[in-house]
Structure formats: structure tokens, C-alpha cells
Structure 1
Amino acid sequence: MNILGISAYYHDSAAALVKSGRIIAAAQEERFTRKKHDARFPKNAIAYALEEAKIPLRKLDYIVFYEKPLITFERLLETYIAYAPQGFHSFISAMTVWLKEKLYLKTVLKKELAKLANCKVGQLPPLLFTEHHQSHVASAFFPSPFDNAAILCLDAVGEWATTSLWLGESNRITPRWELHFPHSLGLLYSAFTYYTGFKVNSGEYKLMGLAPYGEPKYVNLILENLIDIKADGSFRLNMEYFNYAMGLKMINNKFSRLFGQPPRKAENKITQHEMDIAASIQKVTEEVVLRLANTAYQELKTDNLCLAGGVALNCVANGRIYQETNFKNIWIQPAAGDAGGSVGAALAVWYQYLSNERHLNINEPDMMQGSYLGPQFNNDETQEYLDDVKAKYNYFKEEDELLNEVASILSKGYVVGWFQGRMEFGPRALGNRSILGDPRNQEMQSIMNLKIKYRESFRPFAPSVLTEKASQYFELEKPSDYMLIVAKVKEDLRINNQKETQSLFGIDKLKAVRSTIPAVTHVDYSARIQTVNPANNSRYYQLIKHFEALTGCGVLINTSFNVRGEPIVCTPEDAYRCFMRTEMDYLVINDYVLKKVDQPKWKHDKSWQNEFELD
């Protein structure tokens, strides 16, 4: 039985295909259209999923959308009525969109699907709808390795829910309680994202990365004025400071006055004020998440915790759950945001609607297959493109020779674009669409940020580490396959430079070398870790092993293969274009190695950077 899940029209459209309970394919629309966070109907992602499953759309058993739009419309109406006459212009603007598209989303979806299938609407498979948090929760529990678990869903807002606790047992997920809009931890964090000059719905991870450069001096101000947190983690926001419920902006002037100055304009210099704000809201967020996790443990009496929703991408908070709660096992959906709702919606139909049994596979760490669920391209396709653009390359017939060559290149301080196998699903590059570097090189963070990624210098890079060696480098005892947990670098690897660091403030903290793997050690000695094992990604694992044999270091820098404002690359064409537009030194696509200086001249037109949304 084949079920197609769709998330669309709100943020980060995606499609996922589930066959008899197994995830066959999943991809975000942005990867095909090259428009970051593309929210349009995911026709390209659907086409890919159907092709991967080798089934025409008309032969599907069910199609399911990840949200119930009529309930969302109800929330919109009730909210505007509650705040009337404030927000009238916003109301008119929202109603225009809803009356054109979203209120009649079932009709819109059927028309788009019929167009894609080249058939009449009446010939389509049944179209179902799940609730938003149900989709998130299903995406977190059903692919997890647990037969039972507490499931926390924290995001901006679904239909009404912003925070919810569920119990997962075998093939069922049962809601226990939920908090409602406008009281939202996700929207609170987004309000501070907006205030510090980053783009809402895509810049939240920048705020998290900025936090260690600041001091949490505004925590009490936030707790006294913006949010009332109860002992169990439930909370209420003081809506006098926010505009998102009835306006076109996240915050109002009262919010700005509370913190002493207006919001930073995008692209303006980041000051100590923004760093301290980031540190403060990050600490408040962690406190809420920890209290909620402790409540989940006390109420549901299970050792296992699953997380989903956009707040579950806050890997610093996740790291504290891992270190400071009684849960023995934690599993986080790698596509925890809206895109993952497509997977969850399909799985919810398979297990809940159709009541199919759920069988755990002890030979797999989970059912997400490493999140390698996107398109892949073979050597013939790769060579055809490279020959078309007259690229110069070396082909390696033997994998061992290829890995020796790439490990040697990395050890010499060069930056490598690494394109292999199936594209990752979700926001993290996990070794198939990655840019790699040597973590021992103290200049590598600045080089990769400014010359490769074209982004802010403060942004940290993640380490990919051999699973069996993770505890030698980091204070981490269990795998973190999806780069969603932050832990400290081991104390014996840290460099004691207290005198030097005491005189440094803000971004200048980057100048201090903090460990023997400085390029992946953040200013607070933390790292966002990806553990790599041969079961999930054999070639990437073997590359790190070769690098370790050459250098004694079982860690590589891993950042996503893209530049600022651009989605992660999908095709060999995307990879070569990104390679040639940046100061990357080498590109490896499948078994082909390309050296930048050997390539034909590329037209250096910087206007391409304006094609992408700067966030």
C-alpha cells in the first residue's frame, strides 16, 4: 500500500512516500526549485517521490495533507475577533489570501494533483487530512526505535496547538495535553530572531549560534515582562509586547522600548546588545524545554523521549535534555520542522487510520535510514554533465584510492565539496551533500564562513565524528546521528587560555584557540555533533577513517553544501555551480575528483547572490 504525504503552502513544502510503513522517499521542494523554504505546492518533490517508488500518482492508495486548514482558519478568525479593531489591515490582507487559496485548500490540492497526474479530479486517490501536531508527533515516534515513548511537540503554531505532549505506544499516538496560540515558545523565539535582525522561520539557528558570544543579562527582564513560566513548563506570554497575533510584524514598539533600542536592521553590524539578547532568550527557552521534558517524564513514566516541531531543532536545548533529565533515550526527527510533517502525515495514515501493526527492526538504528531519502545520481549521469561543461576531473575506479586522495587533500588544509549518494531530507547535511574541512585548522572556521558560505563569521561548524570515537572527543555517551545534540568538547582536548579569553568580547572571542579541534569548538567549548557509523553512511564513515589514519584525528568539519540564502545542492549541476562560484578548492562527485585551478574559466557574476533570499 502506497501513501503520499504532503506539507505545503505555509513553510518548507515537502513530499514523502510511504510504502507499507517504510519510508521510500522524502524531499523538500526548495531543493528542486532552488528557492529557499519554498512553500508552494511541492510538484517537483512529489514527482521525485513517485519516480523513486516507481508508481504513478493515480495508483496511490491515499494522499494525505499534514494540516487541517479549516481549523486553522477558525483560529485566524477567532484571533482577529478577540483583538478587534486592532490588526484590521492585517486581517484584510490575510483574508485575501485565505479566500483565494487556503480556505478551499482541498479543492486547490485536488486540482494541482490532477494536473500532475494528467487526470480528472474524480480519478484521484482519496485525499485525507491530519492535524498539524499529529503529523509532527507521528514523524517523531513512528520512525523512532522505541515501542513506547513520551513525545513532545514544540513549534510556532499548528491549527491551535503550539506545545503538546503525547504518548506513543506501539502503533498508536495519544494526545495528553496541549498549549494553544498565541502562547507559543516557537513564536517567542522567532520574535527575538526578528528583533536581532534575522529572518523569521529561517534565522532562528543563527540566534542560537550567536548566544554563546553574549551574556544572559536580560533573562530577568524577559521573565518579569514577556513570559510567565510555571513549574511544569507550561507558560503564558504577555501579548502586550507582541504583534504576531493581529499584525504584520512579530513585535511592537513596547517590546523595543523594553530592551532599550529598535530592532537591528538586516545586514547591519551585530553588536554586543544582540549577542546578550540571544544569550538571554536562549537561556529562557532552555528552561522552558527542560521543565516540559521533566513533566513529560513524571507524567508518562517512560525512559524514552521523542521530539518534533521547529523548536526541536534547537540542539543546545536538546543537549541539556540529554544531560539533565531522567530520560535514558532521546530520538529527534531530523526533519523536525514543517517538511517532516509530510512523513508524519503518511505514517499517521498507515498506523492510525489503517491500524497496521508496527514492527521495530533491531538491525536498524531507526526507520529514517540516516535521513538519506532524496535523489541520487550515478556515475554516468555525473560524467555526462561534467563533460557537457568541459570540466576537468580525475576518475577513481577503486574506492580506497578515492578516499586516500580526498583524505590527503583535507589534511593539507583544502576545502572539499562532497557529493555522494542520496540527498538528505531535513535542514542538515549529513555527509552526502556536505562541504568538508580539517577541524585542526584554527583558520578554517573563518575561511569557510567568509570565502565559501558567504555568511556571518560567528557561525559555528559541526563536527562529524566516528561513532565509536565520539566519547574520546566530546562529552557524549550516545549517538547523535542527525546533528541535533550539542555537547562539550572533552576537557583534556581543551586549551587553557583563560588570560587571553578574559580580554576578548563578542566576535573577538573567535580569535582564541580553545581546543585541539578548534574549527568545530564553539566559544563556550560546545559542538553540534554528528556521529557517523558504517550502517548509515559507509563511504562517509570510511573517509573519516582514512583521514584518521593519516592525521590521527577521527573528526571532520561538516557544513551543508550551499552558500548563504541558497538551499542545499541537489544535482551534480547544482554542486558544480556552487563549487565554481565560491573559493572551494576541490569537488568530489561520486567517484570524480575536480580541482578548482584545473577548471575552465567561470564567468564570475556576483549578481547570482541576489537570486537567493538573504536571511
Structure 2
Amino acid sequence: MRILGISAFYHDSAAALIEDGRIVAAAQEERFTRKKHDPSFPANALAYCLAEAGCGMADVDHVVFYDKPFLKFERLLETYLATSPRGFRSFRMAMPLWIKEKLFQKNLLRKHLGKLAGSKEWSGSLLFSEHHLAHAASAFFPSPFASAAVLTMDGVGEWCTTSLGLGRGNSLEIIKEIRFPHSLGLLYSAFTYYTGFKVNSGEYKLMGLAPYGRPRFAQTILDNLIDLKDDGSFRVDQRYFDYCTGLTMTSPAFHRLFGAEPRKPETPLTQREMDLAASIQAVTEEVVLKLARFARQETGERHLCLAGGVALNCVANGKLLKNRIFDDIWIQPAAGDAGGAVGAALAAWHGHLGKDRLANGRDGMAGAYLGPAYGQGEIERRLAAAGAVYKVLSDSEIIADTVEGLVQGKAVGWMQGRMEFGPRALGGRSILGDPRSPTMQKTLNLKVKYRESFRPFAPSVRREDVAEWFDIDTDSPYMLLVGDVLDRRRLPLGPDEGALFGIDRLNAPRSEIPAVTHVDYSARVQTVHHDTNPRYWELLSAFKQRTGCPVLVNTSFNVRGEPIVCTPEDAFRCFMGTEIECLVVGNCFLRKEDQPSALRQDYKECFELD
């Protein structure tokens, strides 16, 4: 039996296909359209999923959408009525789209699915899952746990913003929830907006900026913005926000409270923005820890599963792990809305159809390598058609030449196997570098990624070596846990370096692997496992044998504002538009100096800034 899950029409549209309970394929639409966070119907992602399964729409038993449009419309109407006439402008802008399309989403979906089926309208079984149930299902059902507490936290679904679920076997029940407008995700996004970053994409930047600051506004937030109870429940004072009825996130009262208007995007960052980031990060961590303690007490479960956009806050996840509230935690790698496609399909399989779970081993996400892959012959044809000059090497040669490039301090584009599902590159579509280099972090940010210099990079490390370098000794295959670099790997700071503040702290090497050590000695760790990505594991092994270091810098293969590369052509374009010096696609090895100069391009201006 085949079930298609769809997430669409808000941001990060995606499709997923499960076959007899196993996730066969999943991908975000942005990877095909090359439009970051593409919200449109995921026609390309769906076509890929069907091709990967070797079937057509006629072979699909159910299609499941990840939320319920009528419930969402009800929330919109009730919110506007409760706050009228203040929200009339926003109401006037939203209603035409709802009346034209969203209220008739069932018909719209059938028409889009019909195009895939080669007909006017698809007439098969179309189901709708509640948004937070889809998140919870994406977290629990692929997890390795027989039973677990399940926390979902995001901006808002239909009404729910935070939920506590209980998963046992093939059953999943939501037992507690917090409802709109009281939202931890929207509170964090309000600070994203206020500090000059883009909502729904800049939250990562706010989290990365936090270690440069001091949480001097944390008490102001707790005293004024959020009434936080001991059980983790909370209420958000709407006087300070404008997301219910307005067209911005924060209100004039918010600006008066913090003493300034929102920072204009792309203007210089000041210590104030760093302190604001540190403050909202500290409050978020406090809320998450209280929610987790309540979840443990309420359910009695020893394991915890997480999903929803807030679950992508890997710093909060790391604090949760360190506090040992639960014996173990598992986080859906596509924790945001894209993962709702997986969750909707699994909710139908287990909840609607009552099917048993499969034995998953580590988990059911296959390392998140659920996107397209390209055979060696196809890679060669595509690269040749793009005008690329490459050498075809044996398996051992491709590893050896890549290690040589890394040791020479080069940035290496690495495209291997299936593309990752979710926001993180995990060794399938990555840019790699030597973590021992004191200049690699700044070089990758400014000359390769074309992004803000303060943003940290993640280390990939073999699972068996992680405890030798970081203070965590657990699986972290999806780069969703932060741990500290071990004391013995740290470098002493001189008196001048220790006195630095803000962004200036970036210039002081802090460990044996400075390119992946943040200014507070933290690192967003990815453990690499031989069974899910053998080639990447072998590369790390060879780098360790050559250098004694089993760690590599791993960042997503894209530039700022660009979706992660999907095809060999995408990889070659990014290679030719940046200062990446080597490109490895399958067994093809490319050096920048060998490429026709006419194919060089200025990639800086190709994508809208995120």
C-alpha cells in the first residue's frame, strides 16, 4: 500500500511517499524549483517520489494533506473578529486568497494531483491530518522508541502552537496543547524580525548570534512578554505583538519596551542585537526544559520525541540532553513544515488504517537520505553537457584526492548519493573543509557561502570518535544536538583575546578544530554512521588516518538564499559561481583551475537574500 503525504501553501512545501509503512522518498519542492522555502504545490517533489517508487498516481491508495484548512480559516476569522477593527487591513488582504483558493483546497489539491495522473481531477482517497498531529507523527513513528512522550512546538498550525502527545506502539494521542496566539515559535520569530532577520528563515541566524551576547533582556522578556508557569505552559501578552492582526511581528509597545525600532535588514549588527539574541535564546531554553519536565511527569515515559520548527533549535535540544530529563531524545530531521508531509502519511498509515510499526533499527528516516540520487553514467553525461572538465576516479582514488584537497586547505563541494530531506546537509550535498584551519570559518562564510561572518559551521565526526572530541556520547545523525568541545581539545586564550566582546571574539582560535568551535566552545555535532552513509564515513576515516583528526567542517552545498543543490548541474553552477576549489560528484573529480573560464559566474547576486 502506498500513501503520499503533502505539505504545501505556507512555506517549505514537500512531498513524501510511504510504502507499506516504510518511507521510500521525501523531498522539498525548493530543491527542484530553486526557490528558497517554495510554498507552492510540490508537483516536482511528488513526481520525484512517484518515480523513486516506480509507480504512478493510479498506484497510490491515499493522499494526505498536513493540516485542515477549515480549522485554520476558523482561527483566522475568530482572531479578526476578536480584534476588530484593528486587523481590518490584514483581514482585507487575506480574505480574497482564502475565498478564491484555500477554502476550496480539496478541489485545488485534486486538480493538481490530476495533472500528475494525466487527468482533469484525481478521484482517489484524499485525507487531511491536523497540523500538530502530523508533526507528532513525524517525530514518534520513525523514532526508535516503542513508546515516548512527544513534544511539538512551532508558530501555529490550525489553532495549536504547542502539543504534548503520548506514543505507544502504533497509537499516538495528543493529550495537552497550547493554542494560538500563545506561541513559543512566534515569540522567537518576533525577535528574529526585530533584530533584522527574515521570519521563517532567519531563526537559525538568531540562534547562531546568541553566543556573542549576554542575556541581559531575558528578565524583561519574562516580566513583560511571556507569563511562564512551572509546568511550561505560558501566555504571551499580545499588546507587544502584531502577528494576530497586523502585517509585522512586533508592535510599537514592543519597540518602546526595548528602546528602539526594529533593526533594518543588512545594516551592521551591534552588541544590542547580540544581547537580544542571547536573551530570547535563554528564555526559549527555559520554556523547553519546563515543558520537557512536565512531559516526563505527565506521561511517565523515559523517551522523548520532538518536532515542529522550535525543535530545530539545536542549542535548546543540547541543553535538554544535558539535563537528562529523559533517558534519550529523538528529533525529526525535517522538524519544520516539510516534515509534515512524512507525518501526515504516517498518521494515516498507523492512525487511520491501524497498521503496526516496522522495526526501524536506529530510526526510520534512513539517515534523512530520502531525495534523488544519480548514477555514475548520468553524472558524467550531465556534467559533460554543462561543459565541465572532470576526471573519473576509482572509489579509493576519489577518497584520497578529496583528502588531499582538504589537507591543502581547499573548500570541497561534495555531492554523493541521495539528497537529504530537511534543512541540513549531512554529507550528501555538502561543502567540506579542514576544521583545523583557523581561517576556514571566515573563508567559507565570506568567499564561498556569501553570508554573515558570525555564523558558525558544524562538525561531522565518525560516531565512534564523537566522545573523543565533544562532550556528548550519543547518536546525533541529523545535526540537531549541540555539545561543547572537550576541555582537552581547547586552546588557552591570551589576555587580549579573553577580553574581546561581540563579533571580535570570532578572531580568537578556541580549540584544535577552530573552524567548527563557536565562541562559547559549542558545536552543532553530526555523527556519521557507516550503515547510512558509508562513503562519507570512509572520507572521515581517511582524513583521520592522514591528520589524526576524524572531524570535517560540513555546511550545506549552496550560497545564501539558494536552496541546497539537488542535481549535478546545480552543484557545477554553484562550484563555478563561488570560490569552492574542488568538486566531487559521484566518482567525478573537478578542479576549478581546469574549468573553462567562460563558465565562471558571479553567484553573489543570483539569489534573493534570506
Question: 1:369 corresponds to which residue?
Answer: 366
Aligned AA (1:8): A
Q: Within 1, Cα distance between the matches of 2:486 and 2:469?
A: 5
Question: 2:37 corresponds to which residue?
Answer: 37
Q: Within 1, Cα distance between the matches of 2:504 and 2:363?
A: 41
Aligned: 1:467 with 2:463: yes
| Aligned 8 A contact 1:58 1:124 in 2 | no
Aligned: 1:314 with 2:310: no
Question: 1:456 corresponds to which residue?
Answer: 452
1:431 aligned to 408, 418, 427, which one? 427
Q: Cα offset for 1:116? A: 2.0
Aligned: 1:489 with 2:485: yes
Q: Cα offset for 1:260? A: 1.1
Q: Cα offset for 1:613? A: 2.4
Aligned: 1:562 with 2:558: yes
Question: Structure 2: where are the runs of 5+ without partners?
Answer: none
Q: Within 2, Cα distance between the matches of 1:382 and 1:611?
A: 24
Q: Within 2, Cα distance between the matches of 1:479 and 1:232?
A: 28
Question: 1:541 corresponds to which residue?
Answer: 537
| Residues 191-236 of structure 1 deviation map (CA, whole Å, 9 limit, x = unaligned) | 0000000000011000000000001110111111111100011100
1:380 aligned to 350, 368, 377, which one? 377
Name the SS for the 2:511 alignment partner.
coil
1:507 aligned to 503, 516, 519, which one? 503
Name the SS for the 1:12 alignment partner.
coil
Q: Cα offset for 1:610? A: 4.0
| Aligned 8 A contact 1:293 1:325 in 2 | no
Q: Cα offset for 1:329? A: 0.9
Q: Within 2, Cα distance between the matches of 1:389 and 1:425?
A: 26
* Identical columns (%): 60
Question: 1:396 corresponds to which residue?
Answer: 393
Aligned AA (2:68): K
Q: Cα offset for 1:115? A: 1.7
Correspondences of 1:94-493 after superposition (within 5 Å): 94-121=94-121, 123-361=122-360, 364-397=361-394, 399-493=395-489
Question: 2:27 corresponds to which residue?
Answer: 27
Q: Within 2, Cα distance between the matches of 1:322 and 1:500?
A: 34
Q: Within 1, Cα distance between the matches of 2:181 and 2:262?
A: 22
Q: Within 2, Cα distance between the matches of 1:267 and 1:359?
A: 48
Q: Within 1, Cα distance between the matches of 2:606 and 2:113?
A: 29
Q: Cα offset for 1:100? A: 1.3
Q: Within 1, Cα distance between the matches of 2:5 and 2:325?
A: 34
2:548 aligned to 552, 555, 577, which one? 552
Q: Within 1, Cα distance between the matches of 2:81 and 2:178?
A: 20
Could you say if the C-alpha distance between residues 272 and 21 of structure 1 is closer, same or farther in structure 2, counting changes exceeding 3 Å? Answer: same
| Aligned 8 A contact 1:147 1:360 in 2 | no
Q: Which has the higher mean CA deviation after the structures are superposed, 437-446 or 495-504?
A: 495-504
Q: Cα offset for 1:256? A: 1.0
| Residues 313-363 of structure 1 deviation map (CA, whole Å, 9 limit, x = unaligned) | 0000000110013211110000000000000000011100000111323xx
| Aligned 8 A contact 2:576 2:601 in 1 | no
Q: Cα offset for 1:605? A: 4.7
| Aligned 8 A contact 1:415 1:586 in 2 | yes
| Aligned 8 A contact 1:294 1:325 in 2 | no
Q: Within 2, Cα distance between the matches of 1:223 and 1:569?
A: 41
Name the SS for the 1:322 alignment partner.
helix
Q: Within 2, Cα distance between the matches of 1:553 and 1:33?
A: 38
Aligned AA (2:119): C
Aligned AA (2:393): F
| Aligned 8 A contact 1:61 1:126 in 2 | yes
Aligned AA (2:108): V
Q: TM-score with structure 1 length normalisation?
A: 0.98
Q: Within 2, Cα distance between the matches of 1:111 and 1:11?
A: 20
Q: Cα offset for 1:598? A: 0.8
| Aligned 8 A contact 2:450 2:604 in 1 | no
| Residues 488-519 of structure 1 deviation map (CA, whole Å, 9 limit, x = unaligned) | 00000111115233321111101111000000
Aligned: 1:9 with 2:9: yes
Q: Within 1, Cα distance between the matches of 2:599 and 2:582?
A: 18
| Aligned 8 A contact 1:500 1:512 in 2 | no
Q: Within 1, Cα distance between the matches of 2:374 and 2:117?
A: 25
Question: 1:88 corresponds to which residue?
Answer: 88
Q: Within 1, Cα distance between the matches of 2:98 and 2:522?
A: 44
Name the SS for the 2:267 alignment partner.
coil
Q: Within 2, Cα distance between the matches of 1:609 and 1:95?
A: 37
Could you say if the C-alpha distance between residues 609 and 443 of structure 1 is closer, same or farther in structure 2, counting changes exceeding 3 Å? Answer: closer
Aligned AA (1:269): P
Q: Within 2, Cα distance between the matches of 1:504 and 1:489?
A: 20
Q: Within 1, Cα distance between the matches of 2:64 and 2:58?
A: 14
Q: Within 1, Cα distance between the matches of 2:148 and 2:496?
A: 46
Could you say if the C-alpha distance between residues 287 and 586 of structure 1 is closer, same or farther in structure 2, counting changes exceeding 3 Å? Answer: same
Question: 1:579 corresponds to which residue?
Answer: 575
| Aligned 8 A contact 2:288 2:316 in 1 | yes
Name the SS for the 2:152 alignment partner.
strand
Name the SS for the 1:35 alignment partner.
coil
| Aligned 8 A contact 1:154 1:309 in 2 | yes
Question: 1:613 corresponds to which residue?
Answer: 608
Q: Within 2, Cα distance between the matches of 1:344 and 1:404?
A: 40
| Aligned 8 A contact 2:418 2:428 in 1 | yes
Q: Which has the higher mean CA deviation after the structures are superposed, 571-580 or 498-507?
A: 498-507
Q: Within 1, Cα distance between the matches of 2:386 and 2:566?
A: 18
Name the SS for the 2:597 alignment partner.
coil
Shift >6 Å, 4+ stretches: none
Q: Which has the higher mean CA deviation after the structures are superposed, 595-604 or 375-384?
A: 595-604
Q: Cα offset for 1:604? A: 4.8
| Aligned 8 A contact 2:192 2:202 in 1 | yes
Could you say if the C-alpha distance between residues 498 and 157 of structure 1 is closer, same or farther in structure 2, counting changes exceeding 3 Å? Answer: farther
Aligned AA (1:336): A
Name the SS for the 1:162 alignment partner.
strand
Q: Cα offset for 1:124? A: 2.6
Aligned AA (1:348): A
Q: Within 2, Cα distance between the matches of 1:419 and 1:292?
A: 39
Name the SS for the 1:40 alignment partner.
coil
Aligned AA (1:241): Y
Question: Structure 1: where are the runs of 5+ without partners?
Answer: none
Name the SS for the 1:451 alignment partner.
helix
| Aligned 8 A contact 2:388 2:572 in 1 | no
Q: Within 2, Cα distance between the matches of 1:296 and 1:38?
A: 34
RMSD: 1.0
2:526 aligned to 509, 527, 530, which one? 530
| Aligned 8 A contact 2:7 2:341 in 1 | yes
Aligned AA (2:413): G
Q: Within 1, Cα distance between the matches of 2:605 and 2:14?
A: 24
Could you say if the C-alpha distance between residues 464 and 522 of structure 1 is closer, same or farther in structure 2, counting changes exceeding 3 Å? Answer: same
Q: Within 2, Cα distance between the matches of 1:410 and 1:610?
A: 27
